[in-house]
Structure 1
Amino acid sequence: MAQEQNIDSLCINTIRTLAADVVRGANAGHPGAPMGCAPLAHVLFKDYIMANPKDSHWPNRDRFVLSNGHACALQYIILHFMGYKLSMDDLKAFRHANSLTPGHPERKHTDGIEVTTGPLGQGISNAVGLAIAEAHMAATFNKPGFDIFNNFTYVIMGDGCLQEGVQSEACSLAGHLKLGKLIAVYDDNHITIDGDTALSFTEDSMKRFEAYGWHVQILENGDTDIKGLHQAIAIAQKVTDKPSVIKIRTTIGYGSLHQGEETVHGSPLSEDDIRQVKEKFGFNPDEKYVVPQAVYDLYHAIGARGEKACKQWYDMVEQYCQKYPELGADLKRRLKGQLPNGWENVLPRFTANDKEMATRKCSEAVLTKLVDIIPEMMGGSADLTPSNNTRWKTAVDFQHPSTHLGDYAGRYIRYGVREHGMSAIMNGIGAYQGVIPFSGTFLNFLTYAWGAARLSALSKTRVIYVMTHDSIGLGEDGPTHQPIETLALTRATPNMLTLRPADGNETSGAYLVALERDDGPSVIALTRQNIPQLEGSSVEAVRKGGYILEPESDANPDVILVATGSEVSIAMEGAKLLQQKHRIKVRLVSMPCTELFDEQSRDYRVSVLKVGVPVVSVEALSTFGWQKYSHAQVGMTTFGNSGKYTDVYALFKITPEHVAEVAIQCINFFKKEGSVPHLFAEFSPAT
C-alpha cells in the first residue's frame, strides 16, 4: 500500500510541476487549476477511465470532459502520459501558434479531446449530451450478454462553470432524464479571476443539484485524500438512476507560494516559485519538463488496460453481428459515419401545382421521411414542438422508462424552455458517434443559444438547427420575436451553413446539404407563413447555394433579382411587373445559401450574377452583407413591427411593387454612371 501511495504522489506531483513548466514556457495560461486538480484527475484516469490511446475513437470508451477548459495543461499532460498523439515537444509548444496544445481544448484538433471547451459551462452541458447519446445507443443496440454501450461520461468543472446559465439549463434536464452514467467532479477551489468566490458566488450549489435530481457527495480534502476520492467515484458509479456530482474542496495552485490565491489562476508562476515547488515535491529545481519513467510506466499501463478492453469490445461486436446481423450492420454503418444507401431518394419533391405551404411544414414532411430511413437522427425542440414541427407522428420521446413518458430508445427530446442548454447538449450528442442531432426553436432565439452554436462550428460538429419563424413574416408577435440581424451573424460565422429555402424543394435540398456535410452545423431558417411552391425550384440546386430560378428569354437581362426564402416569391411577382409593365428583361436567382454559393468557382458565380448587370437583393431581414452579392438591397434596416404579416411586409415596403421600383432605379442609376461595378473581382478565388 505504501508503494502505491508513493507512485500516486509521484504522478500527482509530476503533473503539478510539469503544469507549472508548461504554462511558464508559454508565458501565458492557467497553472493553478491543473496543480489543484492533479489528485482527482490522476485518480480518475488511474482507476476509472477506460480509454485506448491507440484507438482514440473507440466507440465505447469512457468520455472525459474538462469543462473548465482553461485548465487544459492538465488534460494535455495526462494525454501525453498515456501515449496519445501528443509529444513532449507539443507540451513545450503550449499556446504557440498552430500547435496541438491550444489555450483551450479543441475537438478534432488534439488527439483525445472529446469536445471543445473553454467558454465556461459548455463542457458540462456537452457532457449531458454525451450521456444522452450513450443511454440512447445502449437502449437501441444492447442485448442480453452484449453491452455494446456502457461507458461513463466524467467531467471536471469549476466555480465558473456553475455560475454560467447554460450549465443550469443542461443539468436541470440531466436530472429529469436520470442519466446515471454521468459523473461530474466539481473542483471547489473558491477562486475566480476577480478573487475569492465570496465576492459573488455564495449559493449552496449542491442543494441546487439535489433539487435537480442529482446524487450529491462532498469531499472536504481534495489535495491529499486519495482514498476519499476513490470512494466518492466508486459510490457515484453505483448510482444508476441519477447523475452524480462530487464537490471536492481543493487548493488552487497547490504547492505554490501563492496557493489559494487568484494570482495563480490566470498567470504563470514565477521562476523562483517554480523552483521552490519542485524542491517541495522532491524534483530537481534546475530541470524542466521532467517526467520520471515510473510515471510513464504507470500511465502506459492505463493505456494498455484500455487497449485490452477495446480489443475485447471489437471481438464482442463481431459476435453480436453474427447473432443480430441487421442490428450489427446498422451499428457498423453508423459508427463509420455513413448514411444509408439511397437515403436522398426519400426527400419529398414538389411541383408548382402543389398547395402553398409554410417551409416549417415542408420541413416536417421532410423530417417524417428522413427519420424512417436514417435511424441515427435524433430530434427535439425547446418547448416549441407544435410551432417548429420537429416531431414526427410515430416518434417516441427520449425519457427515463420510470416516467412512463417514453424510454431511452426514443428519439425525440423534450428540451423545455432551454435554448442554450439544448444547443450545447446537441454538441455533445453530435460528438458521441452514431447519432445526428437536430432541434428547433424560433430563429430569433438562436441568439439565446449562440455560445453553443458558435462552438458547433468551431468544433466541426454536425448539428442541424431547425429555426422557424424566420423573419418579420411571423407577424403579430412583433419585434421581440422577429429576427433581423440573426442571419447576418450565422453567415459571418466560419464553418456554418445558413440555409433559407424558398419552398418545399429547397427545404428538401437544405436537409440534403445539412446531412451530406459531417464537419459542421447547418442553420435551416423556415417560414411561419404559407408560401407557394415555385416553378423551377430544385432539390439538388441547393448544393450550389444560388441558381437561376427563371432563366430569361435571352442571355442578356437588364436586371437580376436575387432573393431567399419567402421573398423569392415576392421577387418573382416583382419580376412579372418589370417584364409585363415595363418590358424589362429580368433574371430571377434563388440564393438559399450564400456560403455554398461562395464555394463555387468564379465562372459559376458570374454565370448566375452576370457581370455588368445590376443586381437587387430581396430578403426580409437585415441588408447587412448583401452588398457582396447585389448593388441595391430591399430588406430591413430597423427592427420589425407587430401586426398581420402582410401588413408588416407592406409597412416595410418588402413588396413586389417596391422591388420593381428599386430595380428600375438601379438600372437608371447605372445607365447614368455608364458602367456596373463587378461583384466578383477577377482575382477572387472560390472559398
Structure 2
Amino acid sequence: MSAASPLAGSPSASSPETVRLAIDTVRTLAMDAVQAAESGHPGTPMALAPLAYALYTKHLRHDPVAPHWADRDRFVLSVGHASMLLYGSLYLAGYDLPLEEIKNFRQWESLTPGHPEVHHTQGVETTTGPLGQGVANAVGFAVAEAHLAATFNRPGHTIVDHFTYFIAGDGCLMEGLSHEAASYAGHMKLGKLIGFFDDNGITIDGSTALTCSDDAAKRFEAYGWQVLHVYDVNDLAAVDAAIAEAKADTQRPTLIITKTHIGFGSPNRQDTAKAHGEPLGAAEIALTKAAYNWPGTEPFHVPSEALAHWREHTAQRAQAHGDWQTRWQAYQWAHPELAAEFERRMRGELPASLDSAFPTFDAKSGTVASRAASGVVINSIAPVVPELIGGSADLSGSNLTVVKGAEVFSATTPAGRNFHFGIREHAMGAIMNGMGLHGGVIPYGGTFLVFSDYMRPAIRLAALMGVQAIYVFTHDSIGLGEDGPTHQPVEHLAALRCIPNLLVLRPADADEVSEAWRVALHHRSGPSAIVLTRQKLSYHGEPARARAGVKQGAYIVADAAGHVPNVVLMASGSEVEIALAAREQLSGHGIHARVVSCPSLELFAAQPVEYRHHILPTGVPRVAVEAAHPVSWYRWVGDHGTVVGIETFGASAPYQTLYEKYGITADRVAAAATALVR
C-alpha cells in the first residue's frame, strides 16, 4: 500500500483520514526533531507510528494527568533509540511534555534526551537504549504485578490488574539478555506481559541477513510464549485483534511479531539502513511529507484535528483511572489494613518497626563468614519488611539469600518471596530494575562477586535510574580459595566503585553486615552492593560503633592507645583483621597505629571534610590493604601513602596459602607502615 493510502481497519468512530493524520503526526514530528537536532533515529518511529497510536489511544490504561497511578499499564520502549516515537506519543496524548520540548530534542537540559530516561520525562517508565535491557525490565514489571496481585487482591476486590507492554527490535532479540529474560518469563507464565517484535529486517550495517537467520517465532514458542503475527503494522484492525488475543491468554506471555518498513513513506530511504540512525535531510523530508499528503509546510506542524483526536481518545483511556479509584475506595473500606500496607509500599516507606529488627552479634554468633551473617540479617528483617523479595542466580545455598519458611515465587505461587533467577545474572539484574521501578517491592539478588561482570550493564542502568536494588555479592576475593582465578575477583571492587551512584558496602564483621543491610534498605536513591566473604571473619565486638560508623563509610576500629597515631591503617572487609594484627606488630616496635574500617568509600567521600580529617588526620601517613586491585585506594592514601593489594589473577589453593603467597598479610602491612614512618 502507498504511504498515503487509508489505513485498513480504522476505528469506526473516526474517519480513516483523521486516523491517518493522527499517525502521520508522529512520523513527521520524528523526522523534524531528528533533522533539527542533526542526529537521531527517524526510521523506526516512522515505521511504528501506527502501533504507538493503537497502544496509546485504544489499549493502554494510562492517565496523562496522573502518570504514576498504581494500576496503570506499563509501556517499555526497549528500542530506546526510537525515542521520538515515545516523545511524540506522550506529547500528543497530553502528558506534561510540550511541543517546545520536542523541538529541543537531544539538547542540553531538554525533556527529550536521545534515549528515554525515567524520572526525567513524564510518562517514561524506564531508561532504555542499551538493547535488550527494556525487554528484561518489562519482565520485571510483570513479575512485580503478579507478586503484588497475589499479595493484595481479594475476592471481589481487585486493585492490581494491569498489563506490561514492550516494543523490541532486531537488536534487542540479538542480545543474549533478551533470551535470558524471555526464558524466565515463559517459565513463570507471565500472562500480563505483551511484547511487539519490530520485524523490519534492518540494522545499522544493513540487512539483518548479514548476521541473523533465527526463527524468532519458534524460539519464543520454545520459551513458552504465545506468538502472534501482524503482517502489516498499518493494519490497525490486525493490531487490535492481536492485542485482544494476547490479553485473553493469561497463562503465557505474548510476542506479537509485527512487520514494519523502517523509514515508512520515505521515497529514497524506506527499508534501508540509511533510515535508521541519521537525519533524512530537508529534501527527503519534503518528499516524504508529500507522500503523506501532509497539510503543513513548516517543521513541527501539528494539525489541530490530529491533536484533538489523540487527546479525545486518551481521555477515554484515562477513565480506567477513575474506575480504579472507585474500586480502591471499596477495597479501603473492606480491607483497611491491607490498603494501608499497599499505600505504604507504593510510597516507598519502610515500616516503623524495621529499625529494631536488625540483629546484633556476639563473639560466638559473630565469628562467621560475612555471607553467613548476611543470611541471618535477611531472615531477621524479612518478617518486618515483606516488600523485600529476591534470591539468587542459582547460588542461593552459597549466597545465603533464602527467606526461611517463605514460598518460592513461581507461576503457581506468585506471592512467594524467594526467587530462583536461574543461571541468568544479566537477566536477574535487569529484571530487578523493572521490579524496583514498578514499585511496591524492594528486590535483591545474589551471585558471586566475580559474576557481577555478567550483570554490569544492568547495574549501571540501575545506578543511572536511581533504582533501589540490592546486590548480594559473595565470595569476594582470593579468600574463596580452591575454585581458583576464574572465580576469584580482583578488579571487581574497583570496577563497581567507579559506577556513579552505586553504593558499595564491604563489611568487616557480622555487626557491619547488619548495618550494611540497614544502610542499603534506607538508600532509596540508587542500588547497593553488599560484598561478602566465603571465609570466616573475626568478630570485633563493637555493635554500637559499627552502627554509627558504617553509615559514615569509615570509622576508627582501634586507635593508637592514647598516643597520636604515627600511621593510619585502612582496610575493608576481611582485611580489617589483617590491619588489626599489623597494628599489634607495630605497637611492639613503638609505632602507634590507628586502624580504620572502610566499609564504603562512597559514603566516606560524602561526609563533611571535618569528619574525614578526624578519621584520616592530615600529615599522618596511611597504608591501605585490600585483597583486590589497589586503584580504589590511591585517593585516600595520598602521594605519601601506599596500598597493599593485588594486581594479578589469583590461583587455586586454600585461602590461607593464597593470602600468604600474594602478600596480603599483617607482616607486609606492618613493613609498609614502618617504611613510611621511619
Residue 574 of structure 1 corresponds to which residue in structure 2? 582
Structure 1 649/439 Cα, relative in aligned 2: closer, same or farther at 3 Å? same
Structure 1 302/335 Cα, relative in aligned 2: closer, same or farther at 3 Å? farther
CA contact (8 A) 1:30 1:267 kept: yes
Residue 660 of structure 1 corresponds to which residue in structure 2? 670
Report the Cα offset of residue 144 of structure 1: 1.5
Q: Structure 1: how far apart are the matches of 2:378 and 2:563? A: 38
Q: Structure 1: how far apart are the matches of 2:482 and 2:109? A: 50
Q: Structure 1: how far apart are the matches of 2:358 and 2:449? A: 23
Q: Structure 1: how far apart are the matches of 2:454 and 2:366? A: 34
Residue 676 of structure 1 corresponds to which residue in structure 2? none
Q: Aligned letter for 1:578?
A: L
Q: How does 1:444-523 map to 2 (within 5 A)?
A: 444-523=450-529
Q: Structure 1: how far apart are the matches of 2:195 and 2:276? A: 21
Residue 413 of structure 1 corresponds to which residue in structure 2? 419
Cα offsets for 1:469-514 (capped at 9, x unmatched): 0111001111111111111111111110000000111111111111
The alignment status of 1:142 with 2:167, answered yes or no, reads: no
Report the Cα offset of residue 22 of structure 1: 0.9
Report the Cα offset of residue 380 of structure 1: 1.3
Q: How does 1:324-473 map to 2 (within 5 A)?
A: 324-352=335-363, 354-401=365-412, 407-473=413-479
Of 561, 564, 589, the residue aligned with 1:556 is: 564
CA contact (8 A) 2:366 2:511 kept: no
> Alignment partner of 1:269: what SS?
coil
The alignment status of 1:623 with 2:634, answered yes or no, reads: no
Report the Cα offset of residue 663 of structure 1: 0.8
Residue 156 of structure 1 corresponds to which residue in structure 2? 167
CA contact (8 A) 2:58 2:314 kept: no
Q: Aligned letter for 2:303?
A: P
Residue 9 of structure 2 corresponds to which residue in structure 1? none
Q: Aligned letter for 1:576?
A: E
Q: Structure 1: how far apart are the matches of 2:155 and 2:528? A: 38
Q: How does 1:512-551 map to 2 (within 5 A)?
A: 512-536=518-542, 537-551=545-559
Q: Structure 2: how far apart are the matches of 1:295 and 1:548? A: 66
Report the Cα offset of residue 285 of structure 1: 5.4
Q: Structure 2: how far apart are the matches of 1:665 and 1:559? A: 11
Structure 1 12/355 Cα, relative in aligned 2: closer, same or farther at 3 Å? closer
Q: Aligned letter for 2:589?
A: H
Of 213, 238, 243, the residue aligned with 2:253 is: 243
Q: Structure 1: how far apart are the matches of 2:535 and 2:162? A: 45
Aligned length: 661
Residue 682 of structure 1 corresponds to which residue in structure 2? none
Q: Structure 2: how far apart are the matches of 1:83 and 1:578? A: 69
Report the Cα offset of residue 554 of structure 1: 2.8
Q: Structure 1: how far apart are the matches of 2:531 and 2:123? A: 34
Q: What's the RMSD between the two structures over aligned residues?
A: 1.2
Residue 610 of structure 1 corresponds to which residue in structure 2? 617
Q: Structure 1: how far apart are the matches of 2:15 and 2:141? A: 33
Structure 1 302/413 Cα, relative in aligned 2: closer, same or farther at 3 Å? farther
> Alignment partner of 2:15: what SS?
helix
Of 582, 599, 622, the residue aligned with 2:606 is: 599
Cα offsets for 1:364-423 (capped at 9, x unmatched): 01100111100111111000010000002112111011xxxxx01101111110000100
Which ranges in structure 1 are unaligned for 5 or more consecutive residues? 402-406, 669-687
Report the Cα offset of residue 146 of structure 1: 1.4
Residue 309 of structure 1 corresponds to which residue in structure 2? 320
CA contact (8 A) 2:137 2:433 kept: yes
CA contact (8 A) 1:561 1:586 kept: yes
Report the Cα offset of residue 310 of structure 1: 1.6
Q: Structure 2: how far apart are the matches of 1:17 and 1:226? A: 19
TM-score of the aligned structures, taking structure 1 as reference length: 0.95
CA contact (8 A) 1:122 1:166 kept: yes
Residue 685 of structure 1 corresponds to which residue in structure 2? none
Report the Cα offset of residue 90 of structure 1: 0.5
Q: How does 1:212-223 map to 2 (within 5 A)?
A: 212-222=223-233
CA contact (8 A) 1:475 1:648 kept: yes
> Alignment partner of 1:548: what SS?
strand
Residue 683 of structure 1 corresponds to which residue in structure 2? none
The alignment status of 1:632 with 2:620, answered yes or no, reads: no
> Alignment partner of 1:217: what SS?
strand
Report the Cα offset of residue 667 of structure 1: 1.4
Q: Structure 2: how far apart are the matches of 1:555 and 1:490? A: 36
CA contact (8 A) 2:22 2:310 kept: no
Between 528-537 and 378-387, report the one with greater CA deviation: 528-537
Q: How does 1:94-133 map to 2 (within 5 A)?
A: 94-133=105-144
Residue 675 of structure 1 corresponds to which residue in structure 2? none
The alignment status of 1:197 with 2:208, answered yes or no, reads: yes
Q: Structure 1: how far apart are the matches of 2:659 and 2:131? A: 41
Q: Structure 2: how far apart are the matches of 1:320 and 1:145? A: 9
Q: Aligned letter for 2:134?
A: G
Q: Structure 2: how far apart are the matches of 1:348 and 1:576? A: 30
Between 284-293 and 1-10, report the one with greater CA deviation: 1-10
Residue 239 of structure 2 corresponds to which residue in structure 1? 229
Q: Aligned letter for 1:598?
A: A
Q: Structure 2: how far apart are the matches of 1:206 and 1:72? A: 26
Q: Aligned letter for 1:234?
A: A
Residue 181 of structure 1 corresponds to which residue in structure 2? 192
Cα offsets for 1:134-158 (capped at 9, x unmatched): 0000000001121111110000110
Residue 75 of structure 1 corresponds to which residue in structure 2? 86
Report the Cα offset of residue 555 of structure 1: 5.4
Of 59, 62, 68, the residue aligned with 1:48 is: 59
CA contact (8 A) 2:59 2:317 kept: no
CA contact (8 A) 2:403 2:417 kept: no
> Alignment partner of 1:99: what SS?
coil
Which ranges in structure 2 are unaligned for 5 or more consecutive residues? 1-11
Q: Structure 2: how far apart are the matches of 1:244 and 1:355? A: 49
Q: Aligned letter for 2:260?
A: T
Residue 278 of structure 1 corresponds to which residue in structure 2? 289
Q: Aligned letter for 1:558?
A: N
CA contact (8 A) 1:129 1:424 kept: yes
CA contact (8 A) 2:393 2:422 kept: yes
Q: Structure 1: how far apart are the matches of 2:255 and 2:318? A: 28
Report the Cα offset of residue 539 of structure 1: 2.3
CA contact (8 A) 2:28 2:289 kept: yes
Report the Cα offset of residue 44 of structure 1: 1.3
Report the Cα offset of residue 18 of structure 1: 1.2
> Alignment partner of 1:373: what SS?
coil
TM-score of the aligned structures, taking structure 2 as reference length: 0.96
> Alignment partner of 2:410: what SS?
coil
Report the Cα offset of residue 438 of structure 1: 0.1
> Alignment partner of 2:631: what SS?
coil
Q: Structure 2: how far apart are the matches of 1:568 and 1:75? A: 50
> Alignment partner of 2:628: what SS?
strand
The alignment status of 1:641 with 2:655, answered yes or no, reads: no
Q: Structure 1: how far apart are the matches of 2:310 and 2:155? A: 33
Cα offsets for 1:53-89 (capped at 9, x unmatched): 1111101000000000000000001111111111111
